[in-house]
Amino acid sequence: MIPSAPDTMHRYSGIAVLAHWLTTVGIGAMLALGWTMTALEDDAGSAALFGWHRSLGVLLVLLALARLLWRWRNPPGAPRRASPRIERLAANLMHRLLYLMLFAMPITGLAGAWTSEDGLGVFGHMAPQPLGVHKLLSETLFNLHAASAWVLVILVGLHAAAAVRHRLAATNVTLPTAHGSATASMRQLSATPRRRLD
Ligand code: HEM
Ligand code: HEM
């Protein structure tokens, strides 16, 4: 879904690409807000950050739902460059895990706030608490929320590294090796038929 990756861009519609990058920016903002507001704790200004974090989190879970629905109705086309089966399986598993985290983060956050003493306030409105306050449950959910943030960071790092690696492979750059001179590699490069797509 990265717009500049030559053999992946055609697979996804403009809307899917836009939703992907909105999610990326949104998750980046949520991580920054989450870590800043918990570092500030009760200092002035932290309440506003908590409010933005909760409200943006609700918008992101709606975006994730819309993305999944869109994806279900509009499956991406087959890639032009055939990748090894193991690579496709790994990418598929990674995408499923990323979708899972896009729901796990807001669900643990919402449920943690909903069962806490402070309650759940989104867009300036407090949600009713029919289940009451459960301090231990709320703390456990928030611990899970904080740990999941690191899992998400690691997954996104691996996913972005794979995307960059994939792009380098698609542009077909051959680097000089210990067994061949730079000139030989250049000759080999110009003799290699280009795997570019158009
Ligand atoms: C919060 C950050 C991110 C999340 C949650 C995320 C999530 C996802 C998901 C769920 C998919 C699969 C889409 C589908 O098939 O329905 C995907 C695809 C993709 N993402 Fe990301 N992504 C993130 C950041 C990035 C970054 C930083 C890059 C690039 C450096 C990137 C490059 C790609 C590419 C190239 C694809 C298409 C892969 C393919 O065609 O198989 N993503 N991403
Ligand atoms: C959508 C993705 C979300 C991400 C990436 C995210 C990320 C984070 C991060 C990084 C922290 C700081 C954790 C720490 O180190 O203590 C945090 C805390 C928190 N988040 Fe989220 N969050 C998300 C969604 C939500 C939602 C929807 C809510 C809704 C209520 C929420 C409520 C909270 C609260 C109340 C805290 C403070 C927890 C505490 O006091 O320990 N988060 N979040």
List pLDDT tens digits, range 60-89. 999 999 999 999 998 887 776 678 889 999
- Domain assignment present for 187: yes
Q: Decide: 111 in ligand 2 pocket, CB within 6 A.
A: no
Calculated CA dihedral for residues 152, 157, 162, 163, nearest 10 degrees: 90
- Domain assignment present for 162: yes
- Domain assignment present for 56: yes
The CATH number linked to 26 is 1.20.950.20
pLDDT of amino acid 44: 83
SS3 125: strand
- Domain assignment present for 197: no
- Domain assignment present for 139: yes
From 49, 65, 101, 145, mutation site for ligand 2 pocket: most ligand atoms within 8 A of C-beta? 145
Q: How many domains does the chain have?
A: 1
Domain range enclosing 164: 9-191
CA distance 138 to 152: 21
pLDDT of amino acid 182: 34
- Domain assignment present for 1: no
pLDDT of amino acid 76: 81
pLDDT of amino acid 181: 37
Question: By alpha-carbon position, which residue is closest to atom 11 of ligand 2?
Answer: 34
Q: Which residues of the chain have pLDDT under 70?
A: 1-10, 80-81, 171-198
pLDDT of amino acid 167: 83
Calculated CA dihedral for residues 137, 143, 145, 149, nearest 10 degrees: -170
Tell which residue, 32, 1, 198, has the closest CA to residue 99. Answer: 1
pLDDT digits over 11-30, tens only? 788 889 999 999 999 999 99
- Domain assignment present for 3: no
